[in-house]
């Protein structure tokens, strides 16, 4: 008679302790550089807002050099690359959705500007304020989106991007109603 086999015990390595993003972290890997919005996510005050401001300025520069179609392709490619970059940066920071990752704000605000332009400076400022409201306060659908995909890896990185795209959609919906009325 053979003894009962012992249950298999699989030891899972604990996640790395959470790290704080720094200039050294930013430059340690290309994914970090992208996910942290080329350094804008290192702001000690409101990194999401600073990342969105960076996105706004970058858009105004990029829009001078690229066509509308090319800007759309940039957003699409930025989403795919950003998905990877956010997964790598979050894993290396040891935090599922760190505030220093601002590539999600960059892409979402670019999407707003791409779909809502042309508009003047006041319209852009309204878009900025609405997006920051929806992203920070997370009312209704944005809170739902934020709760859907948590953790590390591809699923968690999708979650980092997803709630900001929903915030962008809410911003565009309010702006469309504003224009309609």
Position 27 scores a pLDDT of 96
Position 170 scores a pLDDT of 98
Say if 103 falls within a structural domain: yes
Say if 124 falls within a structural domain: yes
Question: Greatest CA separation found in the chain?
Answer: 84
Position 7 scores a pLDDT of 53
Residues 6+ apart with CB under 8 A from 25: 19, 32, 36, 92, 93
Say if 109 falls within a structural domain: yes
Position 9 scores a pLDDT of 52
Residues 1-49 have pLDDT tens digits of 555 555 555 455 555 678 899 999 999 999 999 999 999 999 999 999 9
Say if 4 falls within a structural domain: no
How many domains does one find in the chain?
1
Say if 16 falls within a structural domain: no
HEC per residue, 82-97? HHHHHHHHHHHHCCCC
The Cα–Cα gap between 137 and 96 comes to 19
Say if 3 falls within a structural domain: no
What's this model's pTM, rounded to 2 decimal places?
A: 0.89
Position 95 scores a pLDDT of 93
Say if 6 falls within a structural domain: no
Q: Tell me which residue range forms the domain holding 46.
A: 23-180
Residues of the chain under the 50 pLDDT cut: 10
Say if 128 falls within a structural domain: yes
Q: Of all residues in the chain, what percent are helix, strand and coil, respectively (each to 5)?
A: 70, 0, 30
Position 3 scores a pLDDT of 58
* Coil, strand or helix at 119: coil
């Amino acid at each position: 008679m053979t003894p009962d086999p012992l249950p298999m015990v699989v030891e899972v390595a604990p996640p790395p302790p959470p790290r704080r993003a720094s200039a050294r972290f930013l430059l340690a890997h290309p994914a970090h550089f992208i996910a942290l919005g080329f350094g804008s996510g290192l702001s000690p005050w409101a990194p999401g807002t600073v990342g969105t401001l960076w996105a706004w300025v970058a858009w105004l520069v990029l829009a001078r050099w690229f066509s509308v179609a090319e800007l759309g392709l940039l957003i699409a490619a930025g989403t795919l690359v950003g998905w990877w970059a956010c997964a790598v940066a979050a894993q290396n920071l040891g935090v599922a959705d760190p505030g220093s990752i601002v590539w999600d704000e960059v892409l979402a605000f670019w999407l707003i500007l791409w779909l809502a332009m042309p508009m003047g400076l006041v319209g852009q400022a309204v878009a900025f304020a609405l997006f920051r409201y929806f992203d920070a306060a997370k009312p209704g659908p944005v809170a739902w989106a934020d709760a859907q995909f948590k953790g590390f890896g591809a699923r968690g990185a999708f979650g980092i991007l997803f709630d900001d795209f929903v915030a962008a959609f809410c911003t565009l919906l309010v702006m469309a109603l504003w224009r309609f009325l």
